[in-house]
Amino acid sequence: MNETPSQTVGPFFSIGMAPRDVPGGTVTLSGRVLDGAGDPVPDAVVETWQAEGWGRAHTDPSGRWSIRVAPAAQIDVAVFARGLLNHVITRLDVGEDADIRLQGEDETTFYAI
């Protein structure tokens, strides 16, 4: 018997996930979320976690996002987007533009947690 594929959420799912900066955040982490063809994902949600707390940002029509975080060398990040059955998790360096590529030759390294 074949499995029935899961239903994906969105492009409307960011409505209930309000943006927020990490409490006391003084550093801006920003980038773009891109699909496998290098096109922007205009309705993704990016979440960050640190000891100081968590934050959330939505992407704009060009796939760009930004969030204020506490100073750190690296930040744990999750991306929620249409077409993904589960969110993906990566770690980004602070201080450089952080493009997240969901698929393709230059795909971002994602971790199974």
* Residuewise pLDDT in 10s, the chain (113 residues): 565 555 555 555 566 788 999 998 999 999 999 999 999 999 899 999 999 999 999 999 999 999 999 999 889 999 998 878 789 999 998 877 789 999 998 999 999 87
Distances (CA, A) of 14 to 79, 81, 94: 11, 9, 24
Check: CB of residue 82 under 8 Å from CB of residue 8: yes
The letter for the amino acid at 96 is: E
Query: Shortest CA distance to 46 belongs to which of 36, 33, 28, 27?
Result: 33
Rounded distance between C-alpha atoms, residue 82 and residue 44, angstroms: 7
How many CB atoms sit inside 10 A of residue 40's CB? 16
Query: Residue 12 has what pLDDT?
Result: 52
> What is the CATH T-level fold of the domain 13-101, as seen in this structure?
Protocatechuate 3,4-Dioxygenase, subunit A (2.60.130)
- Note if the pTM is more than 0.75: yes
Query: Residue 110 has what pLDDT?
Result: 92
Q: Coil, strand, or helix at residue 98?
A: coil
Element (H, E) at 91: strand 88-93
Residue 71 is given by DSSP the state S
Q: Where are the domains of the chain?
A: 13-101
